[in-house]
Structure 1
Amino acid sequence: MKRIGILGGTFDPPHMGHLLIAEEVREELDLDGIWFIPSYEPPHKQQARVDSKARVEMVERAISGNSYFRINTIEVNRLGKSYTFDTMKALNDEHPDAEFYFIIGADMVEYLPHWKHIDALLDLVTFVGVKRKGYELKANYSILEVDVPLIELSSTDIRQRVLEHKSVRYMVTSGVEAYLKEKRLYEER
């Protein structure tokens, strides 16, 4: 049975924090790989700043060079809002030989009671919680905890830095940084 970590998100843009979390969880839990799943339209956030095609390209650039990482575009292909339950149901049906570990930050752990079909979802995945500043990993659900180095990065802050023409070097991979510049993403027009 393959053991696959799932890291979902808007990835608007993907940054080094995403990669660090994925690698630490993969290593700590001895997973066979991590699948990055960009959302088409996040159910609990405002709409992404750039289209899904650009976000998929940025994830591909961000994860290149790590043979354990791959992208899965199930939610982008579905269009509209995607809920974790629907995604994980489809992935379990497509990959009956896999055991899935869904990685979430402590901010999402607190929100779990509000997730669509949370009780049924717990039968489809094992949740893996990672620390996030300002949040505690407390839930009424069974969650594996993995300690990862805390670094203060957010896609929101990176977008703001790009808007202010500040460097995002070492916050995103060089491939993502080049793409941001090439496509002039997040710059005011």
Structure 2
Amino acid sequence: MQPPSSSLPCEVIGILGGTFDPIHCGHLRLALEMRLALGLDSVRMMPAPRPRLRSAPQADAATRMRLLEAAVEGIPGLLADDCELDREGPTTTIETLRSLRVEFPSASLCLILGMDAFSRLDTWIEHEEIIHLAHITVAHRADNDALARERKIETRLLREHRTDDATVLRAHRSGFVLVRDIPVLDISSSRIRDHCARGESIRFLVPDRVHDILIKEGLYAATP
């Protein structure tokens, strides 16, 4: 099913949210891989101050934003976006998309999710409205049992809105679900926090600028 489009979007914007506690090379590689695979003009990376469905981040929002800005500095097409940080209460994707739709009325918005997040989409507030505000672009690993998991989730969304043609993202502002096999680096923020707490090296898990900040300021180090 193809939604009507009165005019072609002038820009295709990827949206990648997360706690980024802290930002690491896996986050950045995912953003770059999706930008390349889908032909996105940019990917806006947005730290969530108070995620509704996850435990509270260890670092405060200002610190995580500062680390994200250091991580994307000088990387074409990757942007640190603080639009969620001033919002009261738990962060919801639907609010963010509505705000972005006002800011970018003519753009194609592409919400970037991992397969695990996509499989839990029905737990999100007003999840039915997301497809009307943005495309849903899903990155899943080409290894393990990703294809088996895909067959079990969000069957209605996939049945009614799926496309395998990335060019439709530029032809329509919203309305499609696109799934891509993307190589994912096996790095997690929790692993980095654990390494920091134990005084172990995090070199090559995070960008050099982020590494230097974490070490210099002792962020995530164990409390004496």
Matching of residue 9 in structure 1 with residue 43 in structure 2? no
- 2:196–2:222 contact (8 Å) kept in structure 1: no
Matching of residue 60 in structure 1 with residue 48 in structure 2? no
In structure 1, stretches of 5+ residues that fail to align are none
1:127-166 paired onto structure 2 within 5 Å: 127-132=136-141, 136-137=149-150, 138-140=153-155, 141-142=157-158, 143-166=177-200
What is the alpha-carbon root mean square deviation over aligned residues?
1.4
Whole-Å separation in 2 of the counterparts to 1:53 and 1:87: 18
- 1:41–1:47 contact (8 Å) kept in structure 2: yes
Equivalenced residues, count: 189
- 1:26–1:32 contact (8 Å) kept in structure 2: yes
Secondary structure class of the residue paired with 1:73? coil
Partner AA of 1:147 in structure 2 = D
Matching of residue 42 in structure 1 with residue 66 in structure 2? no
Secondary structure class of the residue paired with 1:74? coil
2:93 equivalent in structure 1? 84
Radius of gyration: which is bigger? 2
Whole-Å separation in 1 of the counterparts to 2:210 and 2:51: 21
1:79 Cα deviation from its structure 2 partner: 3.7
Partner AA of 2:49 in structure 1 = Y
Matching of residue 112 in structure 1 with residue 121 in structure 2? yes
- 1:40–1:79 contact (8 Å) kept in structure 2: no
- 2:198–2:222 contact (8 Å) kept in structure 1: no
Specify which of 68, 84, 106 is matched with residue 75 of structure 1: 84
Specify which of 173, 177, 187 is matched with residue 211 of structure 2: 177
1:97 Cα deviation from its structure 2 partner: 2.0
1:125 Cα deviation from its structure 2 partner: 1.0
What is the TM-score normalised by the length of structure 2? 0.81
1:168 Cα deviation from its structure 2 partner: 0.9
Calculate percent identity across the aligned residue pairs: 30
- 1:39–1:75 contact (8 Å) kept in structure 2: yes
Whole-Å separation in 2 of the counterparts to 1:49 and 1:178: 19
1:150 Cα deviation from its structure 2 partner: 2.6
Whole-Å separation in 2 of the counterparts to 1:87 and 1:19: 21
Secondary structure class of the residue paired with 2:110? strand
Secondary structure class of the residue paired with 1:61? helix
Whole-Å separation in 2 of the counterparts to 1:127 and 1:55: 25
Secondary structure class of the residue paired with 2:220? coil
